[in-house]
C-alpha cells in the first residue's frame, strides 16, 4: 500500500524531525521517497502501515508548539519509561548492557534474511524492528557513556593547571550528570515498555475475609480504579456487580480500555488488606479485612483461540431494578469453558447479544492469562492463588488508615497520604507510578543477576543462517 502527501506541515515535520534520525528510519516498516524539497515538498510512502503512520505525522503540532521526542513518531516512545536507577545498580546495569550490546550486530546480520521472508507475519516483522531499534539505542548510549568517562579522565588531568582548573571542575560536573542521565536512558532501552501495556484489560475485585467490612473495602478499591481510568480518558465498562447487605461489593468486574492504563495498573493483582476502625464499630476496635484484585490483559485474536465445542452457553433472566428487559426476558448470559471450568456471567446490558459479547471478552482474557503460563492447569492455579483463599498471609499491599499510609510488601514501598491515594485520581496515578518503578527496578536486578538476554532480542534468529546453507 502506498500514499502520497504534499501537506507542508507533514513534509516539513518529516524532513526536519524524522529524516535526520537514521535509527528511526531503519525501524520503520515501510519505505519513503522525498520527491521535492521546497515549500511544496511531497513525500511518497509505501509499505505496510504507511497510511496509518502518515495520519500520525500529519497530526504534528504547528511550528512553535512542543512536538515531543522523535521516538514518538516511530512508535518507540520511552520518555514515560525513564525512572531513577538506584546507585548500587548502575555499574551492574552498564556491565549487563555491554553483554547485550553485541546482539545488535547479530540482528543487523540477520535483518536481510528475516525481513526478506515474505511469509513472515507483520507482527513478527514489527517486533524484529523493535528489537533492532532498542539495541541500536543501547549501542549509542554505551558509546556516549564511554565518551563521558574518557572526557572526565582528560579533565582530571587539567585540574593541576591553575588557569584551567575552574573550567575543568565545571565540565566534570556536567559529564557526571550526563553519565547519570545516560544510565537512566540505557535502562529504558534495555527494558522497554511491552506492547501489551497499551491493551485493554479486565478488572475483577472480590471481597475476602472480614464480612461486610470487606465488601465495603472492595467497593472503595473498585471505585478508586474507576476514577483513575476515567481521569486518564479511558473507558470503564462495568460488566457485573454483586452487592452485599451492607451496600458494598461482593464481586465487581469491568472492562477497561485506554492508552497505557493496563501498564499503570498491571501490578495491582493480589490480595489487598485494610486495617481501620469501621464506621459501624461502636467500641473503637480496629478491624482487618481483605479484598482480591485481578488484572488480566485483553488478548488479541491471535493470542488465544477457543473452540466453540468447548463452550457451554446458558441464558437466564437478568436481575436488577427496572426495565422491560430485566426479570422478564432471558438477557443474561453465562459462558462456561468446559476444559478449565471457568464460568463467566454477564447481565449488565439490556440485550442478550451484548451480554454474550461482554462475557466472551472476559472469558478470552482469562484464557489468555492461562495460556500465557503455557500450562493450563498452572495458569488456573495462578489465578486461584489470587482470588482463592484471600488469607492475610497472601497480601501484596496493606492500607493502614490509622497511620495514613499504604505499604506494598513486594517492594517494601511505603507511601503516606492514604486518603489522597484512594480519593484523588492524580495521587492514585502517582502511587501507581511508584509501584511500577519499583517493579521495574526489581525486574532489572533479577535480569542483571541472571545475565540472560531478553526474549524480545533472542526470538528472531532465522532457522538457516550459516554460510553453508543454501
pLDDT of 73 strictly over 60? no
| 295 vs 107: which has the higher pLDDT | 295
Least confident piece of the model among 251-255, 339-343, 400-404, 450-454: 450-454
**Chain segment 384-414, per-residue pLDDT in tens:** 544 444 445 568 999 999 999 999 999 999 9
pLDDT of residue 410: 93
| 124 vs 62: which has the higher pLDDT | 124
Walk across the sheet containing 311-316 and list its strands. Answer: 311-316, 332-337, 342-346
What is the rounded average pLDDT of the residues 290-297? 92
pLDDT of residue 456: 64
The whole-model pTM stands at 0.67
What is the rounded average pLDDT of the residues 23-48? 42
Mean of pLDDT over the chain: 76
Least confident piece of the model among 108-122, 138-152, 203-217: 108-122
**Chain segment 347-382, per-residue pLDDT in tens:** 877 788 888 888 888 888 777 776 665 543 444 454
What is the rounded average pLDDT of the residues 222-238? 95
pLDDT of residue 455: 65
**C-alpha cell recorded at residue 354:** 451484548
Least confident piece of the model among 31-40, 171-180, 269-278: 31-40
Amino acid at each position: 500500500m502506498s500514499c502520497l502527501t504534499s501537506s507542508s506541515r507533514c513534509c516539513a515535520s518529516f524532513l526536519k524531525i524524522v529524516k535526520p534520525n537514521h535509527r528511526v528510519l531503519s525501524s520503520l516498516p515501510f519505505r519513503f521517497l522525498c520527491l521535492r524539497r521546497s515549500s511544496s515538498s511531497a513525500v511518497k510512502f509505501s509499505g505496510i502501515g504507511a497510511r496509518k503512520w502518515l495520519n500520525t505525522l500529519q497530526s504534528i503540532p504547528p511550528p512553535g508548539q512542543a512536538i515531543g521526542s522523535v521516538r514518538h513518531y516511530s512508535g518507540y516512545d520511552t520518555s514515560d519509561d525513564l525512572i531513577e536507577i538506584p546507585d548500587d545498580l548502575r555499574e551492574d546495569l552498564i556491565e549487563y548492557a555491554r553483554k547485550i550490546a553485541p546482539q545488535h550486530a547479530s540482528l543487523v546480520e540477520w535483518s536481510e534474511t528475516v525481513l526478506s521472508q515474505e511469509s513472515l507475519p507483520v507482527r513478527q516483522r514489527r517486533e524484529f524492528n523493535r528489537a533492532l531499534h532498542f539495541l541500536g539505542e543501547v549501542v549509542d548510549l554505551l558509546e556516549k557513556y564511554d565518551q563521558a568517562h574518557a572526557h572526565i579522565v582528560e579533565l582530571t588531568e587539567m585540574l593541576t593547571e591553575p588557569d584551567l582548573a575552574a573550567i575543568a571542575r565545571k565540565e566534570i560536573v556536567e559529564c557526571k550528570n550526563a553519565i547519570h542521565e545516560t544510565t537512566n536512558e540505557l535502562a529504558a532501552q534495555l527494558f522497554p515498555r511491552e506492547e501489551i501495556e497499551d491493551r485493554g484489560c479486565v478488572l475483577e475485585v472480590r471481597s475476602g475475609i472480614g464480612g461486610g467490612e470487606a465488601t465495603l473495602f472492595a467497593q472503595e478499591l473498585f471505585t478508586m480504579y474507576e476514577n483513575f481510568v476515567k481521569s486518564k480518558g479511558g473507558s470503564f465498562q462495568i460488566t457485573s456487580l454483586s452487592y452485599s447487605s451492607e451496600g458494598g461489593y461482593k464481586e465487581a468486574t469491568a472492562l477497561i480500555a485506554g492508552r497505557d492504563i493496563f501498564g499503570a495498573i498491571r501490578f495491582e493483582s493480589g490480595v489487598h488488606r485494610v486495617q481501620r476502625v469501621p464506621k459501624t464499630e461502636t467500641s473503637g476496635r480496629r478491624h482487618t479485612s481483605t479484598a482480591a484484585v485481578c488484572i488480566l490483559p485483553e488478548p488479541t485474536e491471535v493470542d488465544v483461540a477457543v473452540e466453540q465445542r468447548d463452550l457451554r452457553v446458558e441464558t437466564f433472566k437478568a436481575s436488577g431494578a427496572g426495565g422491560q428487559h430485566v426479570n422478564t426476558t432471558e438477557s443474561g448470559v453465562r459462558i462456561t469453558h468446559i476444559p478449565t471450568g471457568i464460568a463467566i456471567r454477564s447481565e449488565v446490558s439490556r440485550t442478550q447479544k451484548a451480554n454474550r459479547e461482554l462475557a466472551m471478552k472476559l472469558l478470552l482474557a482469562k484464557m489468555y492469562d492461562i495460556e500465557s503460563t503455557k500450562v493450563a492447569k498452572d495458569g488456573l492455579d495462578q489465578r486461584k492463588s489470587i482470588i482463592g483463599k484471600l488469607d492475610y498471609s497472601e497480601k501484596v499491599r496493606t492500607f493502614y488508615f490509622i497511620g495514613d499510609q499504604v505499604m506494598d510488601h513486594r517492594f517494601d514501598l511505603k507511601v503516606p497520604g492514604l486518603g489522597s491515594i484512594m480519593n484523588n485520581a492524580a495521587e492514585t496515578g502517582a502511587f501507581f507510578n511508584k509501584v511500577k518503578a519499583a517493579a521495574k527496578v526489581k525486574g532489572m536486578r533479577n535480569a542483571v543477576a541472571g545475565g540472560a538476554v531478553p526474549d524480545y532480542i533472542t526470538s528472531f534468529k532465522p532457522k538457516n543462517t550459516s554460510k553453508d546453507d543454501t
